[in-house]
Structure 1
Amino acid sequence: MRNRLLIAAAVTAVTAGVCGPAAVAADRADNQDAVFLASVHQGNLAEIAAGQDAQRNATTECVKTVGARIVADHQKLDQDVKAVAAQLKTTLPTAPTADQQQKLKDVQAKAKTSGYDSAWLAGQDAAHRSTLALIRLEISSGKDSAAVAAAKQAEPVVTMHLDMVRGGTCHAM
């Protein structure tokens, strides 16, 4: 039953664009901590790129401010993920998934328009909802105490980010 839940979570994460290719996720589904670390690392890389892009291409100060906050927070979260991955000897991907990269390109096509801000906020809402689900799965099912601790530390940060973009509306704090 637990393996089915992990596989379902990995497939959900893949379709949401949060983690790597389905084959990688399925191969790692028996190791919750490795799936979590790889998925969240790619999510951090994607969020950093998206936040930097928002600072350049958003039309409102609110989206630019939220983008800057997302960059700073995800850089910090990713330092923690990399430290835990090194401790567990888990190899992390080197880039966001192809789906994450394509989603950013789709948003970038609307650069410097109000359509950009709307698309960016909607994408951030979806990405942070998916990341929060992965974090909560790690908290409830993870085996390694350091990975679970990293998830617990990330949960309020990702929740705050979701609150800032909830419903595709910008709420800078």
Structure 2
Amino acid sequence: MKHTTLIAVSVAALALAGCKKEAPAGDAMATSAATDSTIPGVTPAAEVQRSPSQVFADTAAASDAFEIATSQLAADKASSAKVKTFAQQMIKAHTESSKKLESAAASATPKIVPDAAMTAQQQQVLSDLQGKSGAEFDKAYAAAQVNAHQSTLNALKAYATGGDVAGLKSFATEMIPAVTAHFNMAKGL
């Protein structure tokens, strides 16, 4: 029964999207079904229209936002001076990276506006870090930094070799050495 209902809601959402008709103003169920990204097989309209360059810009912006947020937390919660110093460096570096990304994205035609909204996974890691302190925090923060920098490095390398917006390709290429250095520093925490 649950599976049949899910299929029916998915079909209804696809039908609404295909017809480009909006649900009646009072029909919250239809509106929710048409826009709910949790329904298997239904892709939100915003994701359908994102170009690979927009996806890259959003990924890079979210990475910067994550690095800044977790490092601000580390500046307050870390017990190790080495972790606190690293966190201050990450805040500065990722604030600068965000500015460079915005400039590179603005040079695209059509203009790309990076969305710095963190992913659910990044938000979960941030939330987990908020609940830790002392040496436990330091260890979890270091692991999060290693993982985040590895992911960012992978995205930068992929876009540097296969991207289609010159400004963003230059940004990606320019950032690879810095992110590699951050990755190596994080592994040493």
Question: TM class by shorter-chain length?
Answer: 0.7 to 0.9
Q: Which runs of 5+ in 1 are unaligned?
A: 1-21
Residue identity in the other structure for 1:102: Q
1:115 aligns with 2:136: yes
Asked whether 1:37 is paired with 2:57, we answer yes
| Structure number having the greater helix percentage | 1
Aligned match of 2:71: 51
- Measure how far apart 1:77 and its partner are: 0.7
5 Å-filtered alignment, 1:58-77, equals 58-77=78-97
Partner residue of 2:160?
A: 139
Question: Which amino acid is the alignment partner of residue 124 of structure 2?
Answer: Q
* 1:103 lines up with 2:130 in the alignment: no
TM-score with structure 1 setting the length? 0.77
Cα offsets for 1:63-118 (capped at 9, x unmatched): 0000000110011111011112222211322432232122111012112x201000
SS of 2:112's partner is coil
Are 1:41 and 1:81, in contact at CA under 8 Å, matched by a contact in 2? Answer: yes
Q: What root-mean-square deviation, in Å, do the aligned CA atoms of Structure 1 and Structure 2 show?
A: 1.9
Partners of 2:58 and 2:115 within 8 A in 1: yes
Alpha-carbon deviations, 1:46-72, whole Å to 9, x = none?
A: 101111111111000000000000110
Which blocks of at least 5 consecutive residues in structure 2 are unaligned? 1-42
Whole-angstrom distance in 2 between the partners of 1:72 and 1:121: 17
CA deviation after TM superposition for structure 1 residue 145, in Å: 1.2
User: In the alignment, which of 62, 85, 89 is matched to residue 105 of structure 2?
Assistant: 85
Counterpart in 1 of 2:33?
none
How far did residue 28 of structure 1 move? 5.8
Larger RCO, structure (CA 8 Å, separation 6 or more): 1
Offset at residue 139 of structure 1 (A): 0.7
Flag as ranges the 4+ runs of structure 1 deviating above 6 A.
Answer: none
Q: 1:116 to 1:26 in 2, by over 3 A?
A: same
Equivalent residue letter for 1:100: Q
Identity of aligned residues (%): 29
1:1-45 C-alpha deviation (Å, 9 max, x unpaired):
xxxxxxxxxxxxxxxxxxxxx86896367x332211110001101
Corresponding position of 1:126:
147
Counting only pairs closer than 5 Å after superposition, residues 12-31 of structure 1 correspond to structure 2 as: 27=48, 31=51
What is the CA–CA distance in structure 1 between the aligned matches of 2:52 and 2:175, rounded to whole Å? 16
